[in-house]
Amino acid sequence: MTKTILRALAGERLPVPPIWMMRQAGRYLPEYRATRAQAGDFLKLCYNPDLAAEVTLQPIRRFGFDAAILFADILLVPQALGADLWFVTGEGPRLSTVTTGEGVAGLRPAGAVHETLSPVYETVRILSRELPAETTLIGFAGAPWTVATYMVAGRGTRDQGPAHDFIARDRAGFQALIDLITGATVEYLSAQVEAGAEVIKLFDSWAGSLRGRDFDDFAVAPTRAIIAALKARHPHTPVIAFPREAGPRYEGFHKAVGADCVALDNSVDPDWAAAHVQRDGCVQGNLAPGHMVTGGQALIDETRRIVRAFSGGPHIFNLGHGITPDADPENVRLMIETVREGA
């Protein structure tokens, strides 16, 4: 029998939606923290195929999710393009910055990323062998806009202001950066599929800060280009797109980019999304991650509400953003039980 997530992505309405969770391998799990300590630091964990596979498998063993998502980081692509990357404990990633067209021209070409990223492909190969037969393996990358915002600012920012400033100052230079990341992302994701990934997800975590033409040029167009290129190489591999906080631009996003599924953040009303987004195909989401901290009846009620809202069409249950480090694993278990018991 075809795996449940693949059935949903093909447009099938299932009586119980399949479920996985963004950042399901992460700091809320004690076994993850132990493995990360063994690795030494976050980047060493990402580039150690055996340990990266281990943390990918941990939530599958504990919870029995319907999918595993490759453990890696969206900023490995900029590193593979020549940016310096390091992580500051308690503060997050830092990168050397790219703020001019000349800086973009000094980066490596898109096809040169494989040397740096080859350990990630080995992680995928390990997972494709070791995952349970019923569990779908999801590969991923950051969408070009989101990756670019980090490359320009050198870190995460509240409003992605440095990237917007680059656009205002030198739109052609910024477009060159987007084009380079787009090409590199196609190479990276295609190699993940060749190594065994069955589904691809594109995370555009900062899409919500784009408006009008900028949303079309820097969220829609590169995502469409990546999906088209992947479909040309791997026509049977479904793609989930996540333009977080896109608001009304979620409507029509399936068709605009060619995605098999659109993931929804938790600011989106499920009833609205069922009427305006799910009509074009599978949707994924969208429980607020805070419920994984607070639990209780509110978690049960909201989980049931989301399942009911999307029960008329193809749906993959997930959070509306990644689970946070302060989450209680028992609340994850409660969420899964609630979904699988039915609304």
CB 110 within 8 A of CB 180: yes
Residue 259 domain flag: no
Q: DSSP labels for 16-82? A: S--B--TT-SSTTSHHHHHHHHHHSSHHHHHT-HHHHHHHHHHHHHHH--SEEE----TTHHHHHTT
224 among known catalytic residues? no
**pLDDT at residue 1, as a whole number:** 64
Q: What are phi and psi of 118, to 5 degrees?
A: -60, -35
Query: What are the beta bridge partners of residue 87?
Result: 93
**pLDDT at residue 342, as a whole number:** 72
pTM above 0.95, yes or no: yes
Residue 96 domain flag: yes
CA–centroid distance for 137 within its chain? 13
13, 27, 108, 125: which is the annotated catalytic residue?
27
Residue 308 domain flag: no
Burial group, residue 30, by CB count within 10 angstroms (0-12, 13-18, 19+) = exposed
188 among known catalytic residues? no
Residue 48 domain flag: no
13, 36, 304, 333: which is the annotated catalytic residue?
36
**pLDDT at residue 89, as a whole number:** 81
32, 47, 66, 73: which is the annotated catalytic residue?
73
CB 310 within 8 A of CB 2: no
Domain count, the chain: 1
Spell out the per-residue pLDDT of the chain, length 343, in tens: 699 999 999 999 999 999 999 999 999 999 999 999 999 999 999 999 999 999 999 999 999 999 999 999 999 999 999 999 999 888 889 999 999 999 999 999 999 999 999 999 999 999 999 999 999 999 999 999 999 999 999 999 999 999 999 999 999 999 999 999 999 999 999 999 999 999 999 999 999 999 999 999 999 999 999 999 999 999 999 999 999 999 999 999 999 999 999 999 999 999 999 999 999 999 999 999 999 999 999 999 999 999 999 999 999 999 999 999 999 999 999 999 999 997 4
Residue 258 domain flag: no
Residue 332 domain flag: no
28, 47, 121, 150: which is the annotated catalytic residue?
150
| Helix, strand or coil, per DSSP, at residue 137 | strand
pLDDT in tens, 60-90: 999 999 999 999 999 999 999 999 999 988 8
**pLDDT at residue 58, as a whole number:** 98
pLDDT in tens, 195-238: 999 999 999 999 999 999 999 999 999 999 999 999 999 999 99
**pLDDT at residue 274, as a whole number:** 98
Residue 339 domain flag: no
249 among known catalytic residues? no
36 among known catalytic residues? yes
Residue 244 domain flag: no
Q: Which domain holds residue 202?
A: 71-237
CATH classification at residue 99: 3.20.20.210
73 among known catalytic residues? yes
